[in-house]
Chain A
Amino acid sequence: MCAYWAMLLAGFRRQATYRLAMVSGLATNAFFGVVRTAIFLALYRQRDQVGGLDVRDALTYVWLLEALFGVIWVSWIWETAESIRSGDFVIELLRPGDPYLRLLAFDLGRTLNLLAVRALPPLTVAWLVLPLRLPGSPAGLALLALSCVLAAVAGFQARFLFGAAAFWTPDYRSVWMLVFPAVWLASGFMIPVDYFPAALRLAASASPMFALVMAPVRVATGRSVGLALASQVLWVAGLWAAGRLVLALAGRRLVVHGG
């Protein structure tokens, strides 16, 4: 346990060293946030409520999305896949302890840093300037924080599964590019799934992608908070099982070239 805690802290510190990347990431999120805010303000000029969301819900969605963007689509997204292709991944299997837990602890350390420096500031500024709908009570804020951490864990697990494609094909990026459009749509990173037609909305809400950004939005805006958190916990457990299974299968077929 102590070792995994150390990995988590190391991940946190490692991420803290990339200052230029942090600043440019913040600028990117702020810019997209401003543009999306203008889009949703224009859309809601003629409507009060669409798909169960009013303009405050929509703006909360926009800024939570910008806050979580860098946490889910992290800049090191290809690290696992690259290390599998180069064979470096074998070192992970040789190290003591559980490789999956170790990778998770290190990754979570890095994403917790991103949550602190890249998610919290823009969300706070947006909350001061715009009529966002964030929880008013400390308990509500704690649940939102929990939901964001669960999203970060689910994000790692999803990235691990996609990266694990490299065990089977060196062209893992093509695999990713083919599934990405569906992931992009279902995750709600493009538009909130609440605007989808009923069948599509149901499918997207029942998919693991729901845990990435839509569930935190539900928790923030106070709509079916319990259900959103329960589905996140469920998907974290489900993806956990899937990740372990893939690692067990892949460990048997990993061939390391070279001396």
Chain B
Amino acid sequence: MADGLLVYWRLASASVRAHMRRPVFLAVRTVAAGLIVAVEVAGVVLLLDRFGTIGGWRAPEVMLLFGLAFASQGLALTFGNRLEADNLSLLVRKGTFDQVLTRPVSPLGWLVASYVDARFLGRLLAGLGAVAWAADRAGVAWTPGRVGLAAMAVVCAASVIFAVLLLAAAFTFVTVQGTEAVNVLVYGGTYLASYPMQIYGSALRLVFVWVVPVALAIYVPALVLLGRQGPPGLPAWLAWLTVPVSAGFLALGGLAWRSGVRHYVGAGS
């Protein structure tokens, strides 16, 4: 077991070192990833500056949701970017995945560890920065418990996004060509979860709280952090469900991935 983990650690550090070899490239990409978060945040500030509130939430409170959403997206993509439809589709078509299967490591572990992309850390860091800034403006007093809750929210939401990537990857093994529709869940889901859930209809709420629980992992912990009650049917005390539900969804993604790999037939000659 320890030996196995060591392999992944070495693969991951090798891929990080590979990025480090081009420090300017790494710096530019990290800054750019942070910039896009900054502009998105500026967009919400401009919007709520004009409108005052949305669904009864003020700008700093909405910003907390944005920060949590961006941070979890950054964390999930740091490890899972190779699972994105376009990237995986390329591995399948070039036959690289055939080689992966012959290696004495788990294919998923190999993919995740050898393509750790430090550039997405820019998104994670900028997201965390937004959380800190928003919490300060919203008057959240940081206690160890609240820090733990925020960290749990980011890790759980990232697991859900990672699981979506796994499901999409399993699908890509079948279609070979990746599909853009996955973006609905990866980017659309976090976009949706960046606004308070009470503004959505019951169908959207049901899907993103209970089926693809990205909103459960972002919105409900944010309710607790902000000391809010939450709308009917989505009370703050559901926060304790975040971990088991996200873990369950991650397990589902894992099962889909395994079934995808089992049904994989090469696409090359």
Contacts and interface: CB of A to CB of B under 8 A. Distances in A.
Tell me, yes or no, whether A binds B. yes
Interface of A: 20-21, 23-25, 27-28, 31-32, 34-35, 38-39, 41-43, 46-47, 50-51, 75, 171, 174, 177-178, 180-182, 184-185, 190-191, 195-197
Contacts of A197: 46
Given A23-B181, A50-B51, A190-B39, 11 more contacts: A21-B179, A24-B181, A28-B181, A38-B201, A39-B54, A39-B195, A41-B199, A174-B28, A185-B39, A190-B40, A191-B47
Given A28-B184, A32-B191, A46 B200 contact: no
B47 A195 contact: yes
A178 B35 contact: yes
A28 B188 CA distance: 8
A20 B32 contact: no
Contacts of A21: 179-180
B175 A177 contact: no
Max count, chain A CB within 10 A of own CB: residue among B28, B43, B50: B50
Nearest to A175: B28
A27 B188 CA distance: 11
A185 B179 CA distance: 27
Nearest to B85: A24
A178 B50 contact: no
Interface string B166-187: 0000000001010111011000
B230 to A, nearest CB: 16
A132 B157 CA distance: 35
Contacts of A43: 47, 51, 54
Interface in B1-60: 25, 28-29, 31-33, 35-36, 38-40, 42-43, 46-47, 50-55
Contact of A28 (B25, B183, B192, B195): B183
Contacts of B25: 171, 174
B190 to A, nearest CB: 11
B28 A35 contact: no
B177 A20 contact: yes
25 contacts: A20-B175, A20-B179, A21-B180, A24-B180, A25-B180, A28-B183, A31-B188, A38-B200, A39-B54, A42-B199, A43-B47, A46-B51, A171-B28, A174-B29, A174-B32, A177-B28, A177-B29, A177-B32, A177-B33, A178-B32, A181-B39, A185-B43, A190-B43, A195-B46, A195-B50
B204 interface: yes
A219 B249 CA distance: 46
Given A27-B181, A28-B183, A31-B188, A178 B51 contact: no
A214 B122 CA distance: 30
A180 B36 contact: yes
Contacts of A35: 188, 191-192, 200, 204
A204 B128 CA distance: 29
Contacts of B192: 35
A10 B39 CA distance: 38
Contact of A51 (B35, B50, B183): B50
A135 to B, nearest CB: 26
Nearest to A22: B180
A25 B33 CA distance: 24
B28 A42 contact: no
Contacts of B31: 178
A24 B184 CA distance: 9
Contacts of B201: 38
Contacts of A181: 32, 35-36, 38-39
B55 A42 contact: yes
A196 B47 CA distance: 8
A38 B52 contact: no
A47 B51 contact: yes
B64 to A, nearest CB: 17
Given A24-B179, A178-B31, A180-B36, A46 B43 contact: no
Contacts of A178: 28, 31-32, 35
Nearest to B196: A42
B31 to A, nearest CB: 7
A46 B38 contact: no
A51 B47 CA distance: 10
- Report the 5 A-B pairs with minimum CB-CB distance, sorted nearest first: A177-B32, A24-B181, A42-B199, A181-B39, A190-B43
Given A25-B180, A177-B29, A39 B50 contact: no
B28 A38 contact: no
Nearest to B34: A181
